[in-house]
């Protein structure tokens, strides 16, 4: 009797086990590590500013040096993933950003910091569009919002744990060692990715026919279809508004990722030990927001069947809530209350992130890598402007009031623009070969 129950339990465990969930876990780890490598410079910023004698504007340029190639690599990286597959493309990109992170530990001044951060932007620039392309192969439509939410929540978790990690390593060994150690960790992830990841479920020896059917059985078809001519004009027409909303979202996100430690230190008087905690709190709120945004959007879609409602509602609520809570930050006299407002604002801001990354999948299908890069170009352009503008306004006005007011204005504009986004306006399906029969069941579109 016990043996029989054990047999049924074993069979049940095999049914529950999904290779695509392990793929998702590997991608979550990538987002986590990539964001640590991205925002570690902001945590080390006060130390760099002191050692190299940088002004606030110069430090802003160091922060934004990452964003120029990051923006430029969005579309190109996504296009490469569509053409050559995410396994090769993400391997190359992760090696580049790992080496750039290590080199930051050997910086000797402003110029070297700018160069190494620029190279880091090249490596990370195409990473998220490439991961989005991988999800097109590996995930059914009903799981994509959750996947984008959970991966980006790991990104925010990476940002949240960066302050204690960087400050802890810096306290023990120096800020340079923090970059070197984190770069080595990135190289270790690359080795894991090369060993485990495959471009499609069809190519992975662990995937069973039942899981192929759950995914949609369309991986091989999509692989061939994506080799058709990229529909640039149609993609621009259907993605430009998403890109613009991503710019409005990205402006405020870059403020959090780059200037939060400096704001809490300079304007609120927190010391180095307090920074490790109070910088992490808003970013931890973003972890919850990222996951919740994707889960709620998918739930609304499953319940109503209305994709337009499922995506729009989270964009409006998220950007609107971020606006409401960012406005009182500079006016409260309590440092702790300011942290609470920042945490609430970032929570709502991150409700939108999974939805923004789901839209390229919704709209572009087989060209999701290119479309994801196009969308995230808005975030990259915001990263070029936001940190420098923020630093310049702080330096010229001596206050954080005007920079935060600009962030609030862009959030308000983003709310209005989000009302016009339509994920049901999809790209025309590319010509493809007859749908293959995989595991005895004909492939079906998701």
- Distance in angstroms between the alpha carbons of the first and the last residue of the chain: 42
How far apart (Å, rounded) are the C-alpha atoms in residues 320 and 411?
Answer: 7
Half-sphere exposure of 232 (CA within 13 A, CB side): 4
Model pLDDT, residue 277:
75
Question: What's the Cα-to-Cα distance from 290 to each of 71, 225, 398, 401, 443, rounded to whole Å?
Answer: 22, 31, 33, 27, 32
pLDDT band (50, 70, 90) for residue 63:
confident
Q: What share of the chain is helix, strand, coil (3-state, %, to 5)?
A: 80, 0, 20
Which of 167-176, 198-207, 225-234, 238-247 is predicted least confidently? 225-234
The CATH architecture one would assign to domain 19-200+222-427 is Up-down Bundle (1.20)
Across the chain, mean pLDDT equals: 82
Residues constituting the chain:
446
pLDDT digits (tens, 9 = 90+) for 340-363: 899 999 999 999 988 998 898 888
> β-strand 437-438 against 441-442: which pairing, if any?
antiparallel
Burial class (CB in 10 A: 0-12, 13-18, 19+), 278: buried
Domain range annotation of the chain: 19-200+222-427
Read off the pLDDT band of 272 (50, 70, 90).
low
**DSSP 8-state assignment for residue 198:** -
pLDDT of 108 over the 50 cut: yes
């Amino acid at each position: 009797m016990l043996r029989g129950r054990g047999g049924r339990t074993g069979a049940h465990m095999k049914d529950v086990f999904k290779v695509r969930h392990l793929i998702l876990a590997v991608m979550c780890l990538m987002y986590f590590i990539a964001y640590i490598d991205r925002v570690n410079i902001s945590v080390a910023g006060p130390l760099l500013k002191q050692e190299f004698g940088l002004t606030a504007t110069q430090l802003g340029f160091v922060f934004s040096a990452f964003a120029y190639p990051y923006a430029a690599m969005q579309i190109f990286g996504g296009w490469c993933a569509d053409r050559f597959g995410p396994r090769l493309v993400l391997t190359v990109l992760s090696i580049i950003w790992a080496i750039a992170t290590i080199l930051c530990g050997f910086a000797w001044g402003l110029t070297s910091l700018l160069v190494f951060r620029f190279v880091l932007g090249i490596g990370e620039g195409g990473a998220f569009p490439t991961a989005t392309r991988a999800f097109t192969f590996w995930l059914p439509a009903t799981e994509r919002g959750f996947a984008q939410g959970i991966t980006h929540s790991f990104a925010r978790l990476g940002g949240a744990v960066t302050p204690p990690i960087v400050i802890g390593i810096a306290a023990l060994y120096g800020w340079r060692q923090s970059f070197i150690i984190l770069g080595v960790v990135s190289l270790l992830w690359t080795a894991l990715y090369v060993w485990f990841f495959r471009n499609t479920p069809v190519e992975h020896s662990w995937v069973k026919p039942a899981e192929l059917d759950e995914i949609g059985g369309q991986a091989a078809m999509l692989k061939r279809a994506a080799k058709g001519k990229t529909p640039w004009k149609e993609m621009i027409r259907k993605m430009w508004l998403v890109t613009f909303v991503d710019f409005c979202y990205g402006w405020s996100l870059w403020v959090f990722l780059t200037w939060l430690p400096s704001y809490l230190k300079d304007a609120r008087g927190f010391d180095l030990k307090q920074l490790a905690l109070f910088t992490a709190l808003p970013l931890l709120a973003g972890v919850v927001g990222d996951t919740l945004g994707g889960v709620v959007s998918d739930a609304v879609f499953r319940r109503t069947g209305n994709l337009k409602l499922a995506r729009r509602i989270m964009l409006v609520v998220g950007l609107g809530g971020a606006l409401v809570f960012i406005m009182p930050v500079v006016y409260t006299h309590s440092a702790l209350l300011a942290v609470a407002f920042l945490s609430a604002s970032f929570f709502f801001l991150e409700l939108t992130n999974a939805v923004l990354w789901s839209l390229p999948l919704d709209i572009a299908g087989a060209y999701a890598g290119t479309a994801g890069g196009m969308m995230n170009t808005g975030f990259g352009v915001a990263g070029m402007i936001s940190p420098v503008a923020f630093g310049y306004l702080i330096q010229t006005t001596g206050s954080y009031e005007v920079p935060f007011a600009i962030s609030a204005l862009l959030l308000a504009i983003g709310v209005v623009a989000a009302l016009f986004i339509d994920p049901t306006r999809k790209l025309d399906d590319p010509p493809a070969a007859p749908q293959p029969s995989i595991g005895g069941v004909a492939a079906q579109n998701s």
